[in-house]
Amino acid sequence: MYIGNVFIEDTFAEAFPMYATRFLITAENKKWALIAAREATGFATSIIMSPAEGGIEKVVSPSTTPDGRIGCLVQLYHRDPMNLKFQVLARVGQCILTCPTTAAFDGLPKVRRRMKVGGAISKFGDGFEKEDALNGRKIWRIPVMEGEFIVEDSFGVLKGVAGGNILILAKTHSAGLEAAEKSIKAIFKYGKHVITPFPGGIVRSGSKVGSLKYSRLGASTNHYYCPTLKDIVEDTRLPPEVNSVLEIVINGLTLEDVQEAMGIAIKAAASVDGVVKIDAGNYGGRLGPYHIRLHESIEKVKNMNIDV
């Protein structure tokens, strides 16, 4: 399959289930909502070495938030729910509670599985905290030096999907970076319920499972796609003209959300001159049960006009 002059490999991204939560940070203005969101999702690129995976989903209008202020939706992911709860408590307590003007609310109110967040963090109030209700939500009001911090009592947890991805193969570094940046902008603009957890949403150091040389390593450089190795390794997957590869990794609340976001990213990347091919990272089906085919992702968004 081609989009313009860009070849779309007939392959799949191999994704896997992870426990996910989603919460809303509101603040006096967009600046402080984003500051808190970036702090709360820091060091959360890959569960390979980070304590969680996380990212910013989108900025939301004051008309849609419980306290009528501008907000930012964020997501966090972990392999097991107990560690996910610990990460949420740590990040809400250290990155949002401490940030001027912020409040924190559940972003999955219809999900049955819950984890107690506000009640635990409320103990910071040293007995002066108060249980209250706000627009039908159980909240805690915690006195702080600025005034008070409002946090919802519980956050929803569900089985999300992590590891959706595309690989952008380009002739030059500048073309690859432009294509990757356009993909991220398009996902943020048109995607639903997804995040891109790596720096700026882009991965330059894609990995493979295990190592050819070091037996104790759980992951190592994806040598199949390293341009500096294409004339050295026999199993390179790079055409001769490709000199840069960047990866977009996508986590989402549902498989359909991730599949759609992959299609959006592919269409955006394929619009850039100098992109040769779109591929995907997989491990022959050994890593995860979700095999998201590139061609099917494109079909899902075939009628969507991607303008970034």
Domain count, the chain: 2
Q: What tens digit of pLDDT does each residue of 18-49 get?
A: 999 999 999 999 999 999 999 999 999 999 99
Q: Assess whether 23 and 116 both reside in one domain.
A: yes
Q: What is the separation, in whole angstroms, between the first and last Cα of the chain?
A: 23
> Scanning the structure block, which residue is given the tokens 């969507």?
304
Whether residue 287 has pLDDT greater than 90 = no
Q: What tens digit of pLDDT does each residue of 161-209 get?
A: 999 999 999 999 999 999 999 999 999 999 999 999 999 999 999 999 8
Q: Out of 158, 176, 205, pick the residue that ends a domain.
A: 158
Answer whether residue 307 is part of any domain. no
Whether residue 283 has pLDDT greater than 90 = no
Output 76 or 286, whichever has higher pLDDT. 76
Q: Of the given ranges (51-55, 239-243, 284-288), which has the lowest mean pLDDT?
A: 284-288
- The domain that holds 42 is classified in CATH as 3.30.70.520
Question: Please, which pLDDT band fits residue 284 given cuts at 50, 70 and 90?
Answer: confident
Q: Out of 107, 140, 158, pick the residue that ends a domain.
A: 158
Reported pTM: 0.96
- Domain of 37 in residue numbering reads as 19-158
Percent of the chain at pLDDT > 90 equals 96
Residue 67 C-alpha from the chain's centroid: 25
Q: What angle do CA 15, 219, 206 make, to 5 degrees?
A: 65
Question: Please, which pLDDT band fits residue 300 given cuts at 50, 70 and 90?
Answer: very high
> How large is the average pLDDT for residues 274-301?
94
Please say whether the beta carbons of 157 and 81 come within 8 A.
yes
Q: What angle do CA 204, 176, 194 make, to 5 degrees?
A: 65
> How large is the average pLDDT for residues 218-243?
95
